[in-house]
Every structure is written in structure tokens, then in C-alpha cells.
């Protein structure tokens, strides 16, 4: 037998259910602009029915709001995290390669082609009047401009690698920070859901952090069942792994760390104190994606040099372009100074070959009062080194070449030359007599002879000077390689950006808050609430009549 107030209880349940629906709508509307928020829905169902005592059926008991569900598609999250990793990597590479392109400054009025053309134009002009001190000074000035170009590019490369190294540390710190925040959210979510509640907002916060983390490094994230809770439900732990090793495992976390290398990886191309990334427990870490991989590839990439030690990936980063600049100045200075070309034979051995007279083989112009023409002077040296003029005579000894005498030994000395220390000899930069030391002549005492300059000009067009051809061909090939790499990174970055945008739109279509839909739900729940309230008022009148008025007139 049911209570006389049974209908009132049924109406009250409808009132509470509608009110719960309005509360959820209110929460959704207030979070319409919250990043990562997933809309929520009040789930209601009919309350358990009661059997009628006479066996004629069952009568409903109203409705219950049984849960507040988070509308979400886990598959889209997994897909987003996978694509975000590639986006992070290629965005970094695109930005850095475009920065390197600006450093080379090609084509422009101050790029390589311009400065090398100006230098050889000045040399060509000097051949017309080898005794002109003004023309000689112009050659020195254009030579200085040429060396400064390489110095500037090399310094920028060094600064860029240092910045990338700092970015590596920043990204590792950022990854650890996100990991710690996710670890704390794991605790809050687990504790909140022990009694069958749903920590919807906390899960949204965790997803936002995983979104950010996935752009920094290649991760795999999922909830795994580890057992049963006391109430029989599946006990799930949220786990994030990097290459199969646990980064965040429920309440536990294994951090990443950076440690400075003991020595340079590539002596000529790397700055000091680069960071290696590993696990906090000392295990090695192979970074396969994300912004961190982008920074590591750009910082260490030397197209496979030292590949296999976990430090220098097979990618053309800053060290590759620094290496190519160093290779250019070494071979160029060797050809101009010594008339020697360098190539690699079939066995991989470096071979030096004397093909003509270089600047060091020629003779400068005698100053008034001199009895012998200066010779043995290199036009290009390193760090502004001179040939150490002997204080007792006008003879010169070689600071740059040292005691090297054979072609092979002389060629090996040029391995010390880099784009950063590339310079014009101090003997040529001497304020009073430097221009006299330009070795224009092949014969001592012949001030109007320009045959040695002709050798230098011919060497410019020597197609065997570099594998790519002449000096201009070498630099054109290098700049073209850079342009292709930059274009490729731009294309991949744009493609990944479009994929991420599409996934974002798909996630928004599932989880995003639609104000139109929420307004419709608000009206629906408002009408339900009003109807339930009206029913309660009606039942109140009925009960008032039944209790207070029925039988009053019969007393």
C-alpha cells in the first residue's frame, strides 16, 4: 500500500531532476570559452517502479539524475597527441631553418655571391696596374669583407647552437613540470572517483596538460586496468610512457634530466657544454618526436656524423652548415694561398695536389729602399696571424704554416682554419706597408708583373676545387640545400597544422559547448521544472482539500 503523499514524492523527484539539468547547463555555459573543457550532460532515468498491491501492474515512482557524464571521444585524443608530436618537431625545424636562411642572406647585395665577386673584381682591377697602391688597398679591403662575411655567419651559427642548447634545457624542464602536474591530477581524480563520482573537470585539466606535453616529446598516454576497487569496479591508472618507459605512472613519475657533455661532440662544429638528455635514473633516452627532437636535431644534426652514439642524428642542423662553411674557407684559402687543391680519393683518403702557384709563391712589390721583394706571405690566415716579420731583416717566417714544407703537411695546416677565425693576414693589414705585400708578381722585383694574380683568378674558375665545382658552385649548392630543407620543413609543418586544426574541429564538434544547444536544454529543463512545480502546487491543493475540508460540513 502506498503513502497518500506518494504523488507528491514523484513530483518532487521531477523537480530535483530538472534542477540538476539546469545546474549542468549553467556549468556548460560558464565554461564555453574554457580551453579543453568538455561539455557535460545530466543523465536521468526512471526511478524503480513499485508493484501495485492488487497485482494489476507497476506504477512509476518518478525520475532520478543518476550521473553527470563528460561528452568526450578518447580516440580523437590519441590521434591528436600523435599528430601534435610531429607538429612540434617540424615547427621548430621550420623556424630555425628559416633563421639560418636569413643568416646566409642569399640572394642579396651583401650575400656571398656579392662579396666574392667584389673581391675577385678588385683582384682583376689590380692586374691592370699592379703597382697601384690604391688598387692594392682595394683588394685588401674586399678580402677583409669576404672574411668578415664568413666570420659573421659562423658567429651567428655558434650563437644559434647555444640558444638551441638552452632551449633543450627549457623544454626538458617544461616536460618535467607537466609531468608533475599530471601526477598530482592523477591523485585528485583517483580519490574523487573512488565512490563512483566522475571527476569531469579534473579530467579536462589533465587532458589539456597531455595536449601540451604531446607537442614537446613523443608520448603514449592511456588508462590501464590494474585491478578491482572494493566496490567491484575496474581500478584504472593513468600512464604516460616515452618509448615504452614509464614517465608518469599513476602516482609515480620518472623525470628527465640534462647533463653537460664532458667534451665537444664535433670539435670544429659544436660549442662547449652541450646538454645530453637522459632519464633521471641514468638510462639513455631516444627522443623521437616533439619540439625537443626538433631542437636536438637542429643543435646536433651533422648529416650522420658520429651517428649511432645517440647524440648527433642524421639530420642537417647547425653543425652541418658550420662544417660546410669551414670546409669552404679551408679549401678556398688553401687554393688562393698555396695553389693546392684538396680532394678525397676512392679509398676515402684526403689528397693534396699542387696545381699552380699561389699567393705564397709570388712576390710583393718592393717599398722604396728595399732590395728584395717580400715573398712567402699568405693572403688568408686565421685569427689575423701575420708571417712574423724578422726584426733583423726583411725576411718573413710563417706563423700560420709553421715548419710545414711538403704539400701534404702544408695542406694539413689548413685544417685549423674555420669560418669563425678566417681572416686576412696581418702583414697585409699593416697600416704603412701592407699593400706592398700582395704577391702580384711571379718574379722578384717585377712591380708591373701580374701573372701571380692571374693564377689566383684562374683558380676561382677551377671546377675541381670543390666536389660541387668552383667556389660559387659550392655556396650555391649549400644555399640550395638549405632552401630545400627549409621548404620541406615548412610544408610538413603546414600539413601537420592543418591536421591538428581538423582534429581540433572534430573534438570541438563532440566535446565543445554549443550555446544554441545549451539554450534549448535550458528551456527544456525550465519547462520541466515549471511543470513539476505546478504539479506539486496542484497536489498541495488536493491534499489541502482532502485533509482540511472533506467531512467538515458533516460535523
Reading the chain (555 residues) residue by residue, the pLDDT tens digits are: 456 678 888 999 999 999 999 999 999 999 999 999 999 999 999 999 888 877 778 888 999 999 999 999 999 999 999 999 999 999 999 999 999 999 988 888 888 889 999 999 999 999 999 999 999 999 999 999 999 999 999 999 999 999 999 999 999 999 999 999 999 999 999 999 888 889 999 999 999 999 999 999 999 999 999 888 777 788 889 999 999 999 999 999 999 999 998 766 555 678 888 999 999 998 999 999 999 999 999 999 887 554 443 444 578 999 999 999 999 999 999 999 999 998 887 887 888 999 888 999 999 998 877 778 888 888 999 886 665 544 333 334 356 787 788 899 999 989 889 999 999 988 888 767 789 999 999 988 888 889 999 988 998 888 888 888 889 899 999 999 999 999 999 999 999 999 999 999 999 999 999 999 999 999 999 999 999 999 999 988 888 888 887 765 554
- Asked if 299 and 339 sit in the same domain, the reply is no
Q: 326 and 269, same structural domain?
A: no
| Position 161 in a domain | no
In this structure, the answer to whether residues 435 and 408 fall within a common structural domain is yes
Judgement on whether residues 304 and 376 belong to the same structural domain of the protein:
no
- Give yes or no: residues 458 and 327 share one domain: yes
Q: Are residues 327 and 474 in the same domain?
A: yes
Domain presence at residue 456: yes
Residue 125 CB burial class (10 angstroms; 0-12, 13-18, ≥19): middle
Could you tell me if residue 405 is inside a domain? Answer: yes
Is there a domain that residue 81 lies in? yes
Tell me if 300 is assigned to some domain.
yes
Phi-psi region of 356 (alpha: psi -120 to 50; beta: other; left: phi over 0): beta
Cell numbers 690604391 correspond to 134
Q: Is residue 97 part of a domain?
A: no
Domain count across the chain:
3
Q: What span, in angstroms and rounded, lies between the C-alpha atoms of 241 and 279?
A: 12
Alpha-carbon distances, residue 196 vs 14, 43, 232, 309, 399 (angstroms): 23, 14, 11, 50, 82
Same domain, 263 and 408: no
Domain annotation covers residue 100: no
Q: Per the domain annotation, does 509 fall within a domain?
A: no
Q: Same domain, yes or no, for 67 and 82?
A: no
Other Cβ atoms closer than 10 A to 181: 17
Distance CA 436, CA 429 (A): 10
What is the CB neighbour count within 10 angstroms for residue 251? 11
SS3 154: helix
Residues facing residue 228 across a β-bridge:
234
* Same-domain check for residues 206 and 283: yes
Domain region containing 126? 112-156+320-480
* Shared-domain flag, residues 172 and 197: yes
224 and 257 together in one domain: yes
C-alpha 11 chain-centroid distance: 61
Residue 264's pLDDT is what?
Answer: 62
Report the alpha-carbon angle 421-425-430, nearest 5.
130
Does one domain contain both 418 and 453? yes
The model scores a pTM over 0.85: yes
- Please report where in the chains the cell 544547444 appears, as a residue: 517
* Among 302, 323, 320, residue whose Cα is nearest residue 311: 302
Amino acid at each position: 500500500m502506498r503513502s497518500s503523499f506518494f504523488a507528491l514524492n514523484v513530483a518532487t523527484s521531477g523537480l530535483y531532476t530538472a534542477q540538476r539539468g539546469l545546474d549542468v547547463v549553467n556549468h556548460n555555459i560558464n565554461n564555453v570559452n574554457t580551453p579543453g573543457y568538455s561539455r557535460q550532460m545530466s543523465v536521468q532515468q526512471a526511478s524503480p517502479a513499485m508493484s501495485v498491491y492488487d497485482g494489476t501492474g507497476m506504477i512509476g515512482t518518478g525520475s532520478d539524475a543518476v550521473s553527470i557524464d563528460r561528452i568526450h571521444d578518447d580516440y580523437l585524443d590519441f590521434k591528436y597527441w600523435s599528430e601534435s608530436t610531429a607538429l612540434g618537431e617540424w615547427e621548430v625545424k621550420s623556424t630555425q631553418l628559416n633563421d639560418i636562411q636569413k643568416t646566409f642572406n642569399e640572394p642579396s647585395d651583401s650575400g656571398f655571391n656579392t662579396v666574392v665577386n667584389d673581391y675577385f673584381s678588385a683582384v682583376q682591377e689590380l692586374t691592370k696596374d699592379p703597382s697601384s697602391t690604391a688598387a692594392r688597398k682595394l683588394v685588401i679591403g674586399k678580402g677583409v669583407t669576404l672574411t668578415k662575411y664568413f666570420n659573421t655567419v659562423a658567429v651567428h651559427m655558434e650563437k644559434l647552437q647555444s640558444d638551441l642548447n638552452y632551449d633543450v634545457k627549457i623544454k626538458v624542464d617544461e616536460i618535467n613540470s607537466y609531468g608533475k602536474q599530471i601526477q598530482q591530477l592523477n591523485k585528485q581524480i583517483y580519490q574523487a572517483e573512488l565512490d563512483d563520482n566522475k571527476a569531469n573537470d579534473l579530467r579536462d585539466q589533465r587532458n589539456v596538460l597531455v595536449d601540451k606535453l604531446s607537442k614537446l616529446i613523443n608520448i603514449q598516454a592511456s588508462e590501464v586496468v590494474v585491478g578491482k576497487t572494493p566496490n567491484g569496479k575496474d581500478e584504472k591508472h593513468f600512464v604516460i610512457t616515452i618509448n615504452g618507459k614509464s614517465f608518469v605512472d599513476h602516482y609515480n613519475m620518472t623525470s628527465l634530466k640534462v647533463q653537460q657533455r664532458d667534451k665537444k661532440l664535433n670539435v670544429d662544429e659544436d660549442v662547449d657544454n652541450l646538454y645530453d638528455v637522459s632519464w633521471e635514473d641514468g638510462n639513455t633516452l631516444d627522443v623521437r618526436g616533439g619540439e625537443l627532437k626538433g631542437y636536438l636535431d637542429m643543435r646536433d644534426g651533422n648529416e650522420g656524423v658520429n651517428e649511432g652514439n645517440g647524440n648527433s642524428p642524421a639530420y642537417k642542423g647547425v653543425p652541418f652548415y658550420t662544417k660546410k662553411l669551414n670546409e669552404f674557407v679551408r679549401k678556398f684559402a688553401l687554393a688562393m694561398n698555396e695553389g693546392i687543391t684538396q680532394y678525397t680519393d676512392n679509398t676515402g683518403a684526403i689528397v693534396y695536389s699542387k696545381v699552380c702557384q699561389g699567393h705564397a709563391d709570388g712576390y710583393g712589390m718592393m717599398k722604396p729602399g728595399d732590395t728584395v721583394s717580400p715573398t712567402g706571405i699568405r693572403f688568408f690566415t686565421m685569427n689575423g696571424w701575420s708571417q712574423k716579420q724578422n726584426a733583423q731583416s726583411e725576411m718573413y717566417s710563417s706563423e700560420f704554416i709553421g715548419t710545414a714544407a711538403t704539400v701534404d703537411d702544408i695542406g694539413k695546416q689548413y685544417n685549423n682554419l674555420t669560418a669563425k677565425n678566417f681572416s686576412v693576414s696581418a702583414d697585409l693589414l699593416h697600416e704603412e706597408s701592407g699593400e706592398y705585400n700582395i704577391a702580384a708578381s711571379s718574379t722578384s722585383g717585377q712591380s708591373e708583373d701580374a701573372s701571380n694574380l692571374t693564377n689566383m683568378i684562374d683558380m676561382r674558375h677551377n671546377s675541381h676545387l670543390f666536389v660541387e665545382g668552383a667556389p660559387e658552385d659550392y655556396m650555391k649548392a649549400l644555399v640550395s640545400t638549405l632552401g630545400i630543407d627549409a621548404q620541406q620543413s615548412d610544408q610538413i609543418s603546414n600539413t601537420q597544422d592543418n591536421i591538428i586544426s581538423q582534429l581540433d574541429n572534430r573534438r570541438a564538434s563532440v566535446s565543445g559547448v554549443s550555446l544554441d544547444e545549451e539554450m534549448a536544454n535550458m528551456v527544456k529543463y525550465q519547462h520541466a521544472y515549471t511543470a513539476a512545480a505546478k504539479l506539486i502546487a496542484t497536489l498541495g491543493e488536493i491534499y489541502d482539500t482532502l485533509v482540511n475540508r472533506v467531512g467538515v460540513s458533516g460535523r
